[in-house]
Amino acid sequence: MTTPDVRWPRASGPLELRPATAADLDAVLVWRNRPEVTRWFINTVVDPDAFRARWLTAVDDPKDHSAIAVAGGDVVGFGTLELDDGLGQTHGDPANTRLVEAQLGYMIDPAHAGRGYATALARGLLEVAFEEVGVRRVTAGCFAENTASWHVMERVGMRREQHGVRDSWHAELGWIDGYTYALLADEWMPGAAADRCSASAGDERIRDGTSPVRDDEEPDRGADPGDHDDPEGRDRKHRGGALFTSRT
């Protein structure tokens, strides 16, 4: 959402991040339901009409700071950043835990994978979360076998906090492991993150989106952006070893 606290559009490395328009969503839907995209996400195929409606409604949601990623005039992906309450005891002031966390997700068009865009997108949304919205903690999650995704999380400084053992159902692979990553506001170092983002961009162009650990020809697969096409919503805490926001 565009609020006084958050400036749009904004640059993040080679990307421009901005709120979604109907034309942007049409561009995303060209590739969103392709098998190479859906393989590593909880919500696989999305309904186009529901997808558009959920995104356009969220533009006016003060708890939603998700964005479309544009490079060279092309829509190359999208990222989700949704505020959520923190966990805490019920005794005391409820404001202590209200909307103090955010959940991060990202997805890149396969035609634009391997160019450092996922890292730039994740870093840009972390900047929004910590420097403009002012949350205390950001989380993200993925299947453990989605190595390109968790490599991106580590590049931007996130820490693996949970390893769920065979807690995530995958239609092709059965029960597999899931990871949850997180970063605290006092751990966020934008300069260091920018250096990692810049250094890794060349690696991603060579290795198609992997970390310095060799994993050749692997595309950017993204962190699970969850169920934003589902108007009824879902449990957005730990499900299947990952954290889910409300948009895919």
Encoded tokens for 19: 């709120």
- Model pTM? 0.81
Q: pLDDT tens digits, residue range 95-104?
A: 889 999 999 9
Per-residue model confidence (pLDDT) at position 80:
96
| Phi (first) and psi of residue 12, to 5 degrees | -145, 100
The pLDDT confidence band at residue 168, using thresholds 50, 70 and 90, is: very high
Model confidence at 163: pLDDT above 60: yes
Three-state secondary structure string covering the chain: CCECCECCCEEECCEEEECCCHHHHHHHHCCCCCHHHHCCCCCCCCCHHHHHHHHHHHCCCCCECCEEEEECCEEEEEEEEEEECCCCCCCCCHHHCCCCEEEEEEEECHHHCCCCHHHHHHHHHHHHHHHHHCCCEEEEEEECCCHHHHHHHHHCCCEEEEEEEEEEEECCCEEEEEEEEEEEHHHCCHHHHHHHHHHHHHHHHHHCCCCCCCCCCCCCCCCCCECCCCCCCCCCCCECCECCCECC
Tally the residues of the chain.
248
Between 50 and 89, name the one with better pLDDT. Answer: 50
How many Å apart are CA 7 and CA 219, to the nearest integer?
A: 30
What pLDDT, on the 0 to 100 scale, is given for residue 91?
Answer: 84
pLDDT at 170 (0 to 100): 96
pLDDT digits (tens, 9 = 90+) for 14-23: 999 999 999 9
Q: Tens digits of per-residue pLDDT, 172-196?
A: 999 999 999 999 999 998 765 555 5
Q: How far apart are CA 125 and CA 44, in angstroms?
A: 23
Report which of residues 92 and 40 the model is more confident about.
40
Mean pLDDT across the chain = 82
What the chain holds in terms of domains, given with CATH numbers, is 10-207 (3.40.630.30)
| Helix axis angle, 190-207 to 147-155, nearest 10° | 150
What is the average pLDDT across 128-135?
A: 96
Mean pLDDT confidence for 146-172: 96
